[in-house]
Amino acid sequence: MITFVKKASMSIIVSGVNKYYGSQQALKNVSFDIHSGELVGFIGPNGAGKSTMMKIITGFLPQSSGDVKVSGLDIMKDSLAIRKIIGYLPENNPLYPGMYVKEYLKFVAGMYKLKNTGQRIKEVIHSTGLEAEQTKKIGALSKGYRQRVGLAQALVHDPDVLILDEPTTGLDPNQIVEIRSLISETGKEKTIMLSTHIMQEVEAICDRILIINKGEIVADDRTENIYRHSQEKSTTILVEFSEEPDENKLKQVDGVEKVAKPSRNTWLIQSASGRDIRNDLFNFAVKNKIAVLSMQKKEKNLEQVFQELTKE
């Protein structure tokens, strides 16, 4: 696991956190830091401990042992102060369906004892795209707009840190794009910890990825480097030849482990131990008087790495 160089300002510091439910251990010595201004994807299978960890950070659930600090404040000693600087959207997005959107946001703002409440509500309604819905009852809104209301309540007190647990659950593709765009835009000014099962979402908007499995952090890296944590070290090359090569001769190229032909004159060639065999394949083509029309090294995506790190 890559260790990040600590900056002077850290939004979230989790150190050796354990959580037990009776005899069952949900979190096992979990440690990570999230820097100010980072948008971090927190992913793992169902039951891996994601929601438990988020509830601990937000002060909704006490840890069994270990330490959590948010903006330098200890979650056990300064719980109320931390809640003032955190915006939290839980997975089930608990709202009051009988309240009007603007009325609900005024209610939430009142709990934070905000000054100039009317102006702040106007700003957050605009930033979350709720202008046309602000006079409607929450129960009459679509799932997508209810998620926007959930984000609005998490943002209304202008927190430094946002904790978002499955913010796009149950949304259609268009709504997912809208909420994703909103989160990405918000991430320019906030520190965000985002939990989701949508791998493309994490790859699209997150700066960094934490993967948790069975209560333990199994990967922590920048999004563009996460594939390095793959347990399968083979390399796959996609090659298009000008004409079909002899498959038996292709298999005999030094370093080739497997070959497959997805389409005419195009081959997927796998090498062992992560070895780059592109030069060997080019020399093979020259030797057999075949032109190489294209050659591409295929990197693993987040979904493949996730499956490898979390499979039974």
| 85 and 223 part of one domain | yes
Q: Where are the alpha helices (DSSP H) in the chain?
A: 50-57, 79-85, 101-111, 117-127, 143-155, 173-186, 199-205, 247-251, 278-287, 302-310
Residue 281 in any domain: the answer is: yes
Residue 5 in any domain: the answer is: no
> Looking at 164, 196, 229, which one is the last position of a domain?
229
List phi, psi (to 5°) of 255.
Answer: 100, -15
List phi, psi (to 5°) of 149.
Answer: -65, -40
- Quick count: other Cβ atoms within 10 Å of Cβ 310? 17
Determine the Cα–Cα distance for residues 70 and 83; give it in Å rounded to an integer.
Answer: 10
Residue 4 in any domain: the answer is: no
| 222 and 191 part of one domain | yes
| 211 and 261 part of one domain | no
Residue 46 in any domain: the answer is: yes
| 199 and 264 part of one domain | no
pLDDT (0 to 100) of residue 125: 94
> Looking at 191, 212, 229, which one is the last position of a domain?
229
Residue 3 in any domain: the answer is: no
pLDDT (0 to 100) of residue 4: 35
What's the pTM value of the predicted model, to 2 decimals?
0.77
pLDDT (0 to 100) of residue 224: 86
| 293 and 224 part of one domain | no
Core vs surface per residue 66-84: b (16+ CB within 10 A) or e: bebbbbebebeebeeebbe
CATH of the domain at 277: 3.30.70.100
> Looking at 181, 210, 229, which one is the last position of a domain?
229
How many domains does the chain contain in total?
2
Q: Would you give the DSSP letter of residue 2?
A: P
| 171 and 118 part of one domain | yes
Q: Which amino acid is at 25?
A: Q
| 223 and 254 part of one domain | no
| 218 and 300 part of one domain | no
Residue 295 in any domain: the answer is: yes
| 178 and 293 part of one domain | no
| 278 and 133 part of one domain | no
| 223 and 299 part of one domain | no
* Boundaries of domain holding 169: 10-229
| 83 and 130 part of one domain | yes
CATH of the domain at 75: 3.40.50.300
Residue 1 in any domain: the answer is: no
Give pLDDT tens digits along the chain (312 positions).
433 333 335 589 999 999 999 999 999 999 999 998 899 999 999 999 999 999 999 999 999 999 999 999 999 999 999 999 999 999 888 899 999 999 999 999 999 999 889 999 999 999 888 999 999 999 999 988 999 999 999 999 999 999 999 888 777 888 788 888 888 888 888 899 999 988 888 988 999 999 999 999 999 999 888 877 766 666 788 899 999 999 999 999 988 888 888 888 888 888 876 678 889 899 999 999 999 999 887 767 788 788 888 886
Residue 2 in any domain: the answer is: no
Determine the Cα–Cα distance for residues 102 and 118; give it in Å rounded to an integer.
Answer: 10
